[in-house]
Structure 1
Amino acid sequence: MRKIYFICILFICNGLLAQKKEKLYPVTIYEKVWQERNNDTRLKLIKTIWLEDSTFEDPSASIKGIAAFNNVINEFYKKNPDAVLTSGAKTVKDNYVTWDWKIQDSKNKLIMAGREFARLNGKGQVSKIISFWDKDAVLSEADILKNLEADNFKVVAQYFECLFKTRDFNTIAALIDDDAIYNQAEGLPYGGTYKGFNEWTKMFAKSAEFFDLQIEKEPVYFSDASKKEVIIYFTINCKSKKSGKTLSMPISEHFDLKNGKITAIRPFYFDTKQFAEFLKSRK
């Protein structure tokens, strides 16, 4: 008897989940409609869930019908061509669904946020949408740190690419702060503290007198956005210009960043003494 009872409960739960999924179908399509950039593709999606008497209202528009709704989205993307839309969990009650949403640009800057209320007709279509804007919305601390981490990664990755691969020093100059500090281990022939891009270039030129370098293993990135720090771990393969010998050496570089620019770099060699002796050795 107990087994039959649990089977019945399972069927009921599965049935409720199926009903909820079916009820959310037009909302899922509605969100895809907003994410679709192609006008013709979007119009086809709209027609699957929108009727000529379906309405949409927000602080900027109050419209009815398929073409009018499509036009609202077209106008939105004209003003916000790089917008990225995301939404939160859905709350369902009878034929009503509500959820939070936010819109960010390609740099993760918050454009706007709000809450959507949808009334469904029970036949897989939307009867009415009311969209409320939260003009005071701000990103959560977690989102801010996540975005900052992504931005810092991009800066460091671009610096690495320009220094070791493209040798694009003009771009590097734009990535570092005017008073940025580069600390090289004192035991190296080019060791010391270098401040500002002009001093950095002197250090790069001096180091190039001792070895040719290739990247043996691409960097792995670590970050602590709260400390505005990025750490990369990679392996170099060097050929000494004095001895002709080669050496493979893991390195980690610690980057400090502020306002999207590098303010300090400190490299750590796996064996600084061995690396220094390698650079100074002769045939």
Structure 2
Amino acid sequence: MRKIYLLCFLFILSGLSAQKKDKLYPITIYEKAWQEKNNDARLKLIKSIWLEDSTFEDPSASIKGIAAFNNVIAEFYKKNPDAVLTSGAKVVKDNYVTWEWKVLDSKSNVIMTGRDFARLNGKGQVSKIIGFWDKEVTMSEADALKKLESENFNVVAQYFESVFKTKDFIKMSAVIEDGAIYNQAEGLPYGGTYTGFTEWTKMFTKSAEFFSLEVEKEPTYFSDASKNEVIIYFTVKCTAKKSGKSLSMPISEHFDLKNGKITAIRPFYFDTKQFAEFLKSKK
């Protein structure tokens, strides 16, 4: 008798497993359609699991029908010709299936990630797909670099304001990484390499013994966000404390950044020798 019960249990279990596999069949074809780059072959796959009233929605599209869905995938590959799609385990409940997915480039870098929810009609077809994107990952490389560039600009602008306008060293310290390096030209009376914010303040204090300044021309910002670099170009008008003379000097400063903080600064004076002599000259 126990043997009969065991066989019945295994039969039922096998039946449930088969039902789950049957439900996943249209999802398997759906994923194959997304992986198929040939338009005609892809359309054939879509027709086998998609109806004219089946709908697809994600942040990029909201469509109904077979041809429209095929066009969504075609447009995706126009923008991402080397994309490779992978997906995670499927969770099935009643006539719903959900799973996570990734899109990789040819070098296996993640282009975008997300989660899909599918509603099935019980006849081996998909009636609705809703796709959600991970916004942080799905941001295009250009948009991501633009966002990073903006963040880096804000950090450098805060530093510039604190040093040259408000003299607010507390606010400035918030954007300086521990152990950050400041390289001043050796020819200057306060020249040298300064490591860490405490040393930076000593350098600023020492430089203030030689001159006072005002910003004559506001900075222009340049950036290579892919390298976390910002360069600013501006002009200061300095008054030497020894001579009382004034001098306008264009300066550029090169900033290295990491995780929203400055890790290194190297200023370049238009004429370092002239500037050094100006600071040392007497009345």
TM-score class, shorter-chain normalisation, is 0.5 to 0.7
Q: Deviations over 1:22-78 (max 9, x none)?
A: xxxxxxxxxxxxxxxxxxxxxxxxxxxxxxxxxxx99xxxxxxxxxxxxxxxxxxxx
Q: Tell me the amino acid that sits aligned with residue 203 of structure 1.
A: M
Alignment RMSD:
3.5
Q: Tell me the amino acid that sits aligned with residue 232 of structure 1.
A: I
Structure 1 pair 220–133 and aligned structure 2 pair: CA distance change class (3 A): same
Structure 1 pair 91–153 and aligned structure 2 pair: CA distance change class (3 A): farther
Q: Does 1:138 align with 2:107?
A: no
Structure 1 pair 204–136 and aligned structure 2 pair: CA distance change class (3 A): closer
The structure with the largest alpha-carbon Rg is 2
Q: Is the 8 A contact 1:113 1:137 kept in 2?
A: no
SS at match of 1:243: coil
Shift of 1:113: 7.5
* Percent pairwise identity: 68
Stretches of structure 2 that go unaligned for 5 or more consecutive residues are 1-55, 77-112, 117-127
Aligned to 1:173: 173
Structure 1 pair 89–212 and aligned structure 2 pair: CA distance change class (3 A): farther
Aligned to 1:68: none
Q: CA–CA distance in 2 between the matches of 1:274 and 1:159?
A: 26
Q: CA–CA distance in 1 between the matches of 2:278 and 2:189?
A: 11
Shift of 1:131: 5.4
Q: Tell me the amino acid that sits aligned with residue 271 of structure 1.
A: D
Structure 1 pair 114–239 and aligned structure 2 pair: CA distance change class (3 A): farther
Aligned to 1:206: 206
Aligned residues: 180
Q: Deviations over 1:90-118 (max 9, x none)?
A: 8899xx99899xxxxxxxxxxx9799xxx
Stretch moving more, 138-147 or 241-250: 138-147
Please list, as runs of the form range in 1=range in 2, the aligned pairs for 1:6-45 lying within 5 A after superposition: none
Shift of 1:146: 1.4
Shift of 1:159: 0.5
Shift of 1:147: 1.2
Q: CA–CA distance in 1 between the matches of 2:160 and 2:136?
A: 36
Q: CA–CA distance in 2 between the matches of 1:136 and 1:168?
A: 36
Structure 1 pair 144–189 and aligned structure 2 pair: CA distance change class (3 A): same
Aligned to 1:78: none
Shift of 1:133: 1.6
Q: Tell me the amino acid that sits aligned with residue 250 of structure 2.
A: P
Q: Tell me the amino acid that sits aligned with residue 138 of structure 1.
A: V
SS at match of 1:138: helix
Q: Tell me the amino acid that sits aligned with residue 198 of structure 1.
A: T
